[in-house]
């Protein structure tokens, strides 16, 4: 089992350092949000594992697409949209169905506008709703080839007001963590 975990971690690291660090930050955010929401330990454990590996499928996406500065073409977006499916395949047989499902659904949105399945509303588990917020928050607040990072409070406000896409309970928990300063205190503790 640990050999397979190390294999997956190596796949992420091989792709690029950003993806590795992104997955770690998303796992931390998922943990903090879950604790704030007083989620059951089982959900929390599954969510943290899923978030650590949610982007492992990107190892099948070309660097030219992942590192591209500026807008992607329609064809390039089609390739990006495949990474949750690649992740699902890589995680299958290595983790529980719950972990696989959470990782697979990290780009789904409440209004059905997400991918790969266009799930909506109650079709999305709480864990999938949490990882969606954590993943988007990290993408918005870190430097990527195609965007300039936003301030944490601006990013969380933007997510909070997109109630059609993101769960209001989850975005409220993250907003409380950001505005109280708890989030940054927790990050310091984890990294020290």
Q: Which of 192, 157, 185, 154 is nearest to 171 (CA)?
A: 157
If one counts every other C-beta atom within 10 angstroms of the C-beta of residue 93, the result is: 8
* C-alpha Rg value of the chain to the nearest Å: 16
127 within 8 A of 98, measured Cβ to Cβ: yes
Q: What is the C-alpha end-to-end distance of the chain, expressed in Å?
A: 28
CA atoms in the 13 A half-sphere facing the CB of 151? 4
If one counts every other C-beta atom within 10 angstroms of the C-beta of residue 41, the result is: 8
Catalytic residue among 11, 15, 36, 58: 58
26 within 8 A of 135, measured Cβ to Cβ: yes
Q: Is 58 an annotated catalytic residue?
A: yes
- Catalytically active residues are 58
């Amino acid at each position: 089992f640990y050999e397979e975990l190390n294999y997956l971690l190596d796949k992420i690291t091989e792709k690029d350092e950003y993806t590795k660090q992104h997955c770690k930050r998303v796992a931390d955010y998922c943990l903090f949000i879950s604790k704030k929401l007083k989620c059951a330990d089982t959900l929390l454990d599954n969510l943290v594992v899923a978030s650590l590996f949610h982007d492992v499928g990107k190892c099948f996406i070309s660097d030219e697409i992942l590192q591209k500065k500026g807008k992607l073409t329609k064809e390039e977006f089609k390739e990006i949209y495949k990474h949750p499916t690649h992740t699902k395949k890589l995680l299958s047989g290595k983790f529980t169905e719950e972990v696989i499902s959470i990782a697979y659904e990290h780009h789904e949105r409440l209004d059905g506008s997400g991918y790969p399945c266009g799930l909506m509303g109650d079709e999305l588990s709480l864990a999938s709703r949490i990882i969606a917020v954590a993943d988007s928050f990290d993408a918005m607040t870190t430097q990527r080839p195609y965007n300039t990072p936003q301030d944490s409070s601006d990013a969380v406000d933007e997510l909070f007001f997109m109630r059609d896409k993101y769960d209001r309970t989850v975005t409220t928990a993250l907003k409380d963590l950001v505005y109280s300063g708890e989030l940054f205190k927790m990050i310091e503790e984890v990294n020290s």
